[in-house]
Structure 1
Amino acid sequence: MRIENCFFCGRPAWPSKGITFMRNDGKAFRFCRSKCHKNFKMKRNPRKLKWTKAYRKNAGKEMVVDSTLQFAARRNVPVRYNRELWQKTLKAMERISEIRARRERVFYKKRMAGKRAREVAAARKLVAENEHLLPRLRGSEKRRLAELAAERGVDVEELEREELAKLASKKKSKAFGGEVRRVRVRTDGGVEEITESFGGKNVDEEMDDDDHDDSDRDDDDMDTD
């Protein structure tokens, strides 16, 4: 059983899977899926598409020069069946896959070295450019935090960061709504407790709406009298 590689993206094309395109000159092109076949017919360059092996090799994201990759080369030399040879071959395949996986992990670590520092630098640059959009503390709040830090013996900047985080986490509205219990006085002098649900509005807005509704009802009652 021979596992060929896709002509366009480089993925393995398993037997009885994928598409085989035969050109007029007799050359066969094996594709792992219809996506690669369509891109081939549209005459697209695999080196310019980020999801292909050719692009990853040109971008330095794949191991190109490695001794373990030479074992995957095609060899059309027939070999007579030998049980011991097959057993040794299977053990060697397992060992080669382990070595290749370890080398790929080392290659990935070297390629991603310094990424965290670059991300932190980019984040700091973004914060410095948009500093005017960040919430700020008043002078009285800063003085209060300075006195509190002096009493506790902690850093002032840490307390300021916590206070800013609290300010940013406060939300005036509830997106998913909730329930509110209120006590309402009836026109006959009685008192009743009601439970109302709200969604997407503030509690204060709901109470204002109820106050307007109550005033409208009282006006209607007076008109009927």
Structure 2
Amino acid sequence: MRIETCYFCSRPTYPGKGIMFVRNDSKAFRFCRSKCHKNFKMKRNPRKLKWTKAFRKASGKEMVVDSTLLFAARRNVPVRYNRELAKKTLEAMDQVAEIRARRERMFYKRRMAGNRKREALAARKLIAEHSHLLLPQPKRPLHPKLRAKKLAALQEAQAAANGLDVHVDEDGLELETTDAVKSKVAARRMVRQRITADGRVELEEEMAAGNSSALVGEDDDDDDFDDDDEMAMD
């Protein structure tokens, strides 16, 4: 069986598929599908429809002059069957198909070379002509977690520039610098000195709630010292 070619779109029409139309002058037309048959009856030109092979060849989108295209040309020459000849023909068909595919890829690359540059220039020209239609895009607010991480990273960078160590928790919030922690701990630590009736001096170390309580504690120390002095005097 022979694989026919669609008269309208030039697609292959396999045996048992497609539509065959015979005109009054006994000329036969084969179509791969009803779409091609309807366009043929509406007397449309295949070279003016973008989905046909005739349009692509006419507009330079496919190869037209190539030696591999002659291999599939129709030859109505009767040849005596020869097994070796059939074997060589099948091998040649695979080689020709591979060569044709490689040449088509090269043809496509050469045809599409510089296409991106042309599209970029066209887009720039369009933007320049209609720049008055462009509106400033509003800035979308950041997610709270992203904002916290960004703030933590900024604080770490500032602390590194100042030479301080910064502790950051999992949520991205700054806790305290090392120097600030040391100063607070030193301020909250309170030492009491107490003189007993026997004349012994006792030291008591306590942690106050804050700086204000530490000051109150100092005043209490003075009161305790005065009371002990009075007891010793007695």
Q: Name the TM-score, length of structure 2 as normaliser.
A: 0.57
Give the letter aligned to residue 43 of structure 2.
Answer: K
Give 2:72's aligned residue.
72
Using the TM superposition, give the Cα deviation of residue 41 of structure 1 relative to its aligned residue in structure 2, in angstroms.
0.6
SS of residue in 2 equivalent to 1:122:
helix
| Mapping for residues 199-218 of structure 1, pairs under 5 Å | none
Using the TM superposition, give the Cα deviation of residue 170 of structure 1 relative to its aligned residue in structure 2, in angstroms.
5.6
Say if 2:107 is the partner of 1:107: yes
Give 1:48's aligned residue.
48
**Per-residue Cα deviation, 1:168-189 (whole angstroms, up to 9, x for no partner):** x569xxxxxxxxxxxxxxxxxx
2: CA distance, partners of 1:89 / 1:36:
32
SS of residue in 1 equivalent to 2:91:
helix
Root-mean-square deviation (Å): 1.8
Using the TM superposition, give the Cα deviation of residue 37 of structure 1 relative to its aligned residue in structure 2, in angstroms.
0.4
Mark the CA change 1:170 to 1:122 in structure 2 (over 3 Å): closer, same or farther. Answer: farther
Give 2:117's aligned residue.
117
Using the TM superposition, give the Cα deviation of residue 134 of structure 1 relative to its aligned residue in structure 2, in angstroms.
3.9
2: CA distance, partners of 1:68 / 1:119:
33
Give 2:27's aligned residue.
27
Give the letter aligned to residue 87 of structure 2.
Answer: Q
Give the letter aligned to residue 106 of structure 1.
Answer: M
Using the TM superposition, give the Cα deviation of residue 60 of structure 1 relative to its aligned residue in structure 2, in angstroms.
0.6
SS of residue in 1 equivalent to 2:71:
helix
Mark the CA change 1:9 to 1:112 in structure 2 (over 3 Å): closer, same or farther. Answer: same
Give 1:98's aligned residue.
98
2: CA distance, partners of 1:134 / 1:105:
42
Give 2:85's aligned residue.
85
Mark the CA change 1:76 to 1:170 in structure 2 (over 3 Å): closer, same or farther. Answer: farther
SS of residue in 2 equivalent to 1:29:
strand
Give 1:5's aligned residue.
5
**Structure 2: gaps of 5 or more residues:** 143-234
**Structure 1: gaps of 5 or more residues:** 136-163, 172-225
Using the TM superposition, give the Cα deviation of residue 2 of structure 1 relative to its aligned residue in structure 2, in angstroms.
1.1
SS of residue in 2 equivalent to 1:72:
coil
Q: Name the TM-score, length of structure 1 as normaliser.
A: 0.59
2: CA distance, partners of 1:134 / 1:102:
47
Using the TM superposition, give the Cα deviation of residue 126 of structure 1 relative to its aligned residue in structure 2, in angstroms.
2.2
Using the TM superposition, give the Cα deviation of residue 130 of structure 1 relative to its aligned residue in structure 2, in angstroms.
3.2
**Per-residue Cα deviation, 1:90-128 (whole angstroms, up to 9, x for no partner):** 110000000000110011111111100011111112222
Q: Return structure 1 stretches of 4+ with deviation > 3 angstroms.
A: none
Give 1:128's aligned residue.
128
2: CA distance, partners of 1:92 / 1:37:
34
Using the TM superposition, give the Cα deviation of residue 129 of structure 1 relative to its aligned residue in structure 2, in angstroms.
2.5
Give the letter aligned to residue 117 of structure 2.
Answer: A
Give the letter aligned to residue 110 of structure 1.
Answer: R
Equivalent residue pairs, number? 141
Percentage of pairs with the same residue? 75
Mark the CA change 1:56 to 1:46 in structure 2 (over 3 Å): closer, same or farther. Answer: same
